[in-house]
A and B are shown apart, each in its own frame.
Chain A
């Protein structure tokens, strides 16, 4: 059982955390670009053969996106837009063709973590989002490690599939 909703959701959550410390205009424009790209890319799906590569790429994207909160500077407009487009591309790649059309939207709703994250940045500085990002990175590294295991029982089809 290997759904793409978890990596896609974590990627959007990492994006929300990364954008939390950006200026308001950058945040708003990135979210608009995210929605526009999501609508455009929702028609495209990765072929089944490329799914393994897509999953690895998505986890690497999660790590890279979450790592941006450790930058000393605020996220610039170009970097923020690039992260938004990158998140949509990888999230779309891992959501399999069989999954419902609403799946990308469900996953993208995790970007709403930006609301409490922005509040936390204003109230406590960047520390809380750095801590939460470290958890996201930990999950992504583990999942990437699982990709390297030759046989993972959990990924074999179970009796329901």
Chain B
């Protein structure tokens, strides 16, 4: 006998689950499949753990370690997905300018971190980035090109600084940097895929709600950063 899922479970599900659960006919089969696949991948990845072989060197690994880094911290992950979602919402040319500005300025930040140039509290900067980018999505803020690029560039410096401080101690710094740049880029692409739901019925509401959730989590990160 097949079990039916009670309707209450669906309505009480988190926003992401509801986003996936929106009627396929309305979302379009392809958009829905991509969003589902991304969310399943993110959920699976967040539950996975590193293999325990050869962990005694004390140095972080190369490509895999760098790739895992932006995915491991929820603040980094949410900020990078938000950049993609916001870019998709703003449309051309920002949909491709933002994913180019972010890595470029992240590298600038990483260089500052590598050379230990002092910067205002980085954790607070990263936390504020989640809050601001989430708020921009939630409020459907249609920023001009220069403003959106500047906002993303500023926050990318903080994210890059956090990565750059750890970079020189990686076992294979080049592999590490390739991993984290690729992961960052793919998170932007994931955000753009999610942001493309904006054109669908109820998609705008779902995205604004997602932005609200991200901004809420950003507030929590800011509170935590101020407390530490």
Contacts and interface: CB of A to CB of B under 8 A. Distances in A.
B174 to A, nearest CB: 5
A88 B178 CA distance: 21
Main secondary structure of the interface of A (DSSP, over half): helix
B110 interface: yes
B177 interface: yes
Interface residues of B, number: 30
Contacts of A1: 171-172
Contacts of A2: 174
B203 interface: no
B216 interface: no
Which bucket holds chain A's interface residue count? 20 to 34
Interface stretch (B2-10, B96-104, B144-152, B194-202): B96-104
B154 interface: no
A55 to B, nearest CB: 9
B171 A6 contact: no
A65 B168 CA distance: 26
Given A131-B99, A159-B57, A143 B168 contact: no
B170 interface: yes
A145 B111 contact: yes
Interface stretch (A37-45, A78-86, A112-120, A133-141): A133-141
7 contacts: A6-B175, A134-B104, A139-B177, A142-B167, A145-B110, A149-B114, A154-B172
